[in-house]
Amino acid sequence: MELFEFSKYIAAVYRQSKNDAKEELKELDLGSTQSDLMMFIFDHPGLTQKQLAAHMTLDASLLAKDIKVLMVKGLVERQINPRDGRAWVISVTPAGEAMAQKLQQTLSRWWGDLFQQNPEIDSHLFGQQLKLVRQALEERQIE
């Protein structure tokens, strides 16, 4: 396989997971980035908007718009960062916690079904490799 094809496959897997889960998540009224953001904030509470943008590799201004939408829906809240009064830290509300858990359950079910239907794919190895790729990319950002 040509190395440039990795991007194509990664993007296709992401889109397919979101498209397949879309029907089940329709009632939640969230876009793909908003659902990703909800799960990330749930797993990493207390990060600033700048940190969220960096960790999720999102444009800071687009992230700010999504956070405002999630705030209006009562799913996240922001407070002044006690360590830096110029920054906001973001966390999920109780409603946001329930939403994030539902999102995680839905996507876990999607991945579980995929691996069950395709036993030739080693989910443990696949997960380890993805984690290593992400860590390498994060280290590149720090340098």
- Distance between alpha carbon 27 and the CA centroid of its chain, in Å? 19
Does 37 map to a domain?
yes
Is a pLDDT exceeding 70 seen at residue 142? no
> Per DSSP, what are the bridge partners of residue 80?
88
Does 1 map to a domain?
no
Does 105 map to a domain?
yes
Does 13 map to a domain?
no
Q: Token digits for 60? A: 């800071």
Q: Which helix (H) or strand (E) holds 59?
A: none
Does 53 map to a domain?
yes
Tens digits of residue pLDDT in 16-27: 988 888 777 777
Is a pLDDT exceeding 70 seen at residue 102? yes
CA–CA separation, 22 and 16 (whole Å): 10
> Per DSSP, what are the bridge partners of residue 48?
89
Split at pLDDT 50, 70, 90, the class of 143 is: low
Q: Which helix (H) or strand (E) holds 113?
A: helix 94-117
Does 10 map to a domain?
no
Tens digits of residue pLDDT in 44-79: 988 988 889 988 889 989 999 999 999 999 999 998
Is a pLDDT exceeding 60 seen at residue 33? yes
Tens digits of residue pLDDT in 111-120: 999 999 999 9
Q: Which domain holds residue 131?
A: 18-109+119-142
Does 136 map to a domain?
yes
Q: Domain of 30: which CATH number? A: 1.10.10.10
Split at pLDDT 50, 70, 90, the class of 88 is: confident
In the chain, the number of structural domains is 1
Does 5 map to a domain?
no
